[in-house]
Amino acid sequence: MGISRFSEWLRHRVTPVDPVLTKPDILRENNWVHFKLYKTPSLSIQWKTALDWYHEVLIRIVKPLVENNHRVRVVLFGFYAPDYGVDPEEYKKQITRPSAHVTYIRLRLSVALKHKAKVERKLVDSIGAHSGLVWEYEVMRTYHVRNDLGNRFGSNDDSQTLRFVRYWDAVCRYIMSILTPQTNWRSDVDVRGIPHMVTNSLGSTLRMSSSASCPACRNGVMFLETQISPATGQQVTLSLSSLPLFLVRCGTCNHQDIVTCNV
C-alpha cells in the first residue's frame, strides 16, 4: 500500500479526538473565564426587549470571541432574570446591583490557564467596544464545574460531568449559529421544536418532583409540557415578566399551569 493510500485509510480508521472528553483539566475551577453581563436595570422587564438584548450580546460580543478560536474549548451561556443573588464563586470584579429586577447573561468559557488572561482581556475590550450594550459586568476568578454541573448532571462522576459539558457546549454553539438580529432566530429552523425534541429524547413525561401535586385535582403529579393550548398561551403572555418559565401539566386530570422557578 502506497503512502498516500495508507494515509487515506488511516484517516477513515482513526477516531477523531474529542476536544472536551479528552481534557479533564476542563473541570479545574481556574481554567474558566467566568463573567456576568448586565442589561441596563429597569423596574419592569419587557420580554421582547430583554430577548433582543440577550441575542444582540451573543451575536456581537460572544460569537466573534469564540467562533474559530481554538483557545476557547467550551462556551456555556444562559439568560437570567430576575437576579439569583451572589454567585458562589470568588469575585475578581463585583458590582452593587440596584434592583432585584435585573437581566443578565452568565457566560463561562473553558480555556487553558495560559490563555485565560488574554481571553478575559479580549472579552472586556469587546464589551467596551460596544458602548451601551452591556450596562455593567462582573468577573469571577473561578467556576467550580464539579460543584455546579457535576452535582446536578454528572452524578458526581468526572467522565459523566464532561459528557454534560460537551452536550451543553454543543447546544450553545448551535444556538449562536441560528441567531439573527432582526427576527431573533432563522425562519427556516423549528426553534420551538428544539426543547421538544430534547424532552422526547428523555422520555417526554418529565415530572417536576414527587411533591409537586396538581393544584386542581390534588392527586396528580405535574409534568413538563412542550405543547401550549390557546388558553395557556394567554397565561404565558401574562407571566412573561418572570423568568425562567415552564409549562406543566397534570398527568391525571390534564390541568395546565405555569411555574417560574427552576424545575
**pLDDT, tens digit, for every residue of 51-74?**
899 999 999 999 999 999 999 999
Beta-bridge partners for 213:
221
Taking a C-beta distance cutoff of 8 angstroms, is the pair 246, 259 a contact?
yes
Which of 240-253 are b and which e, b meaning 16 or more Cβ less than 10 Å from the residue's Cβ?
A: bebbeebbbbbeee
Give phi and psi for 93, each to the nearest 5.
-145, 120
Burial of residue 154 (CB within 10 Å: 0-12, 13-18, 19+) is: buried
Predicted pLDDT of residue 263: 42
For the chain, which residues score pLDDT lower than 70? 1-17, 19-21, 43-45, 82-86, 98-101, 209-212, 226-245, 260-263
The 10s digit of each residue's pLDDT in 225-242 is 766 555 555 555 555 555
Place of cell 472586556: 124
Predicted pLDDT of residue 181: 86
